[in-house]
Structure 1
């Protein structure tokens, strides 16, 4: 490649970077230590010197635009292991990540041969007042970047007192619902950060309804989920080896929650989240597996050039891949129920949503129990109207709905009832076996 062509390639890359930077949060640049590694991983990509110069220019430009720059050092042996068993496609080659860790901050710039990126102070608005007042105003004004920067600074520096004061101020001025929204936003922000080997780490939780007596082995349960195939390929999950009590999760304020994340990334037991005592698990009926999740989905610059920026997921729309993983997860839940003496894993959720997931489960269980009670009352009422005649039931399933019609054995119609899936303790197709325990079933309405 001629010097002029190399210079033009760099300028083209910078022009694209300036165009895309407003829509980018982070990017991975791949540093190739030698020409042999470049030829193996990116055959025909161009001279090593041009690739290195392009990386340096991109890092400086994107960092200036506020994009987090991470660097992975290409590794031939790791790349060969990655490609083993995969189709040799450009997409597969570009998807490789060095799981020994992405370089961040000064280390990333030094790997590219650049001086460390200067630390930018957080943007400060002209607003006066205490930190709590400023956070309240940023939240109320929906100033996304100002709120995010100030909240992140307060969380990272352990200012739970200021955060609590801001929540109380929001409650006093805008109402309790707004205060709850702010508290939730702060917890959601605290549970994830740009740390760890992948460049993004977050805390997740797996609440489990426990059977009476000794709870199942948390290590076995967690490992069985990790190896089940229910997780997206770009996610790496590690669970703490012991149960945690739901109440302990709920008690953590944002800065303390962030410390849990930092400690777990460092491979340490979280000091603010000790293992649950057996009595705590027995009293609540639930245990929680707390996990550290690394997301390796930050796109590389080469992927962006080849495929464009990743499209954000459509709200409420499940992809075929997500649907397939959901089926695997349901099969894993069924297997866990059998292996765990009747334990019921709920959903794998963000750490801050664990107690809400448990509350939803209890509400659903209550609705299902009330549905069964409604059927029993329905049958009892029909028997009182049958004046001593035997009552029989004709049950039909319409999709996920259960339709019940009660008759006397002689064929007199008494009443009918329709129940949706959410009101049933088991799927509609399994309800006839349950109904037979308290009312005779018939395949056709009597007399027809």
Structure 2
């Protein structure tokens, strides 16, 4: 590959590099600059404005011709400075800037580059009214995973709202094979329905946050969602938007693939979903679990400036779970869960999962909690002793380093006793143990009456 610095014509060199990497990309962000001052603010001394915009135009044309979705941002000094505040100011960081709130896509993006709009998308496929033949096609595609036709056909059927075809396919598998095979087909269709090329970044998916609720008052759903988003546990390319109210696990589990897609589209358009109304919080508290449902927007769109600087696509990074950044995010989530459990009576947010996996996540939590509960006999004995002395009691937890301190009070606020457990006497981390304790005693943030 010819290096960018050695090219006589940087615009043509950029177009050549774009054609080379296009087969490996689904989308690309290019930047155009209104004037030299803006270019110098964002990429000081890097190029003249005519060349920078010429490169953006050539890359956009080559990428579009290669079937890559082109996103365009019009550089804005104020937006860039706000983004850069709090970040390390380096040329590497500057190249990653994306003005998420004002990206142009589709025909708008190409027009901004001075390019012709692409031809309109072909109309969606039409299916015969009788569901049988199409259901057989879907089953044949599902049984031939190497053929690669299942996802496209399932996507088209979900987009067309053909629940009759999907339901018939499941019934046929159940009759011909087994309940397990039917469940696998249903799960694959739900997975296809839960993500789509929608939203500001070009891809979004439904997510659900199951939460083990304490007896009594249900925490505020908006505060819980805001806490998760601000926890430091999300990847930089991950944006979450949650519905403001609680949803029932049963209602989430009952969503069909077509209903899942409607909910996804409603959230992408900032509409309240008709297929998933808010749950009764009193009933959720009685049942012990509630769910927050939201939209995860994927902002992992490659930026041309990064590709150009590297002379091609970067090498594939290590697995997500192997990086120090990923481990740090996981630790931040655990700390947030611990704080939230301590402040909300043992309320335990579980992991983010697709809506179809809510039931499994709750079952796994109950199994794990049951196993851990057998290992916290010392804590249960401490609580029972306090109850024998005073009847109804509450506990105020405090995490000190890796140790956990519990202080028992009467509901009126009289001190009863305290217990400090180092990590080698805890069944799990101090943060995780808080959620388990909340199963059998009410936790409070402050001593009652203070």
Task: Give the TM-score category using the shorter length.
Answer: 0.7 to 0.9
Name the counterpart of 2:233. 230
Name the counterpart of 1:297. 300
- 1:261-280 aligned within 5 A: 261-280=264-283
| C-alpha separation in 2, matches of 1:264 and 1:305 | 35
- 1:9-48 aligned within 5 A: 9-48=10-49
- 1:67-216 aligned within 5 A: 67-121=68-122, 130-143=133-146, 145-173=148-176, 175-216=178-219
1:271 Cα offset (Å)? 1.0
Contact 2:247 2:276 in 1 (8 A): yes
Q: Which moved more, 1:98-107 or 1:322-331?
A: 98-107
From 321, 326, 331, the counterpart of 1:327: 331
1:330 Cα offset (Å)? 0.8
Cα 1:364–1:85 shift into 2, 3 Å: closer
Does residue 52 in structure 1 map to residue 53 in structure 2? yes
Q: Which moved more, 1:194-203 or 1:323-332?
A: 194-203
Task: Find runs of 4+ consecutive structure 1 residues off by over 6 angstroms.
Answer: 428-431
* Superposition RMSD in Å: 3.1
Q: Which structure 2 segments of 5+ residues have no match?
A: 1-5, 126-131, 378-422, 434-450
Q: Which structure 1 segments of 5+ residues have no match?
A: 374-420, 432-448
- 1:329-408 aligned within 5 A: 329-369=333-373
1:192 Cα offset (Å)? 2.1
Contact 1:59 1:69 in 2 (8 A): yes
Q: Which moved more, 1:26-35 or 1:327-336?
A: 26-35
| C-alpha separation in 2, matches of 1:24 and 1:170 | 36
| C-alpha separation in 1, matches of 2:429 and 2:106 | 55
| C-alpha separation in 1, matches of 2:76 and 2:191 | 35
Does residue 253 in structure 1 map to residue 256 in structure 2? yes
| C-alpha separation in 2, matches of 1:357 and 1:312 | 30
1:44 Cα offset (Å)? 3.5
Contact 1:244 1:276 in 2 (8 A): yes
Does residue 318 in structure 1 map to residue 319 in structure 2? no
How many residues matched? 375
| C-alpha separation in 1, matches of 2:203 and 2:325 | 22
Cα 1:310–1:142 shift into 2, 3 Å: farther
TM-score under structure 1 length normalisation: 0.75
Helix, strand or coil at the partner of 2:278: coil
Helix, strand or coil at the partner of 2:118: coil
| Alignment deviations for residues 29-70 of structure 1 (CA, whole Å, 9 cap, x no partner) | 222233332222223443333333333333333233332222
Contact 2:231 2:336 in 1 (8 A): yes
| C-alpha separation in 2, matches of 1:354 and 1:169 | 26
1:226 Cα offset (Å)? 1.5
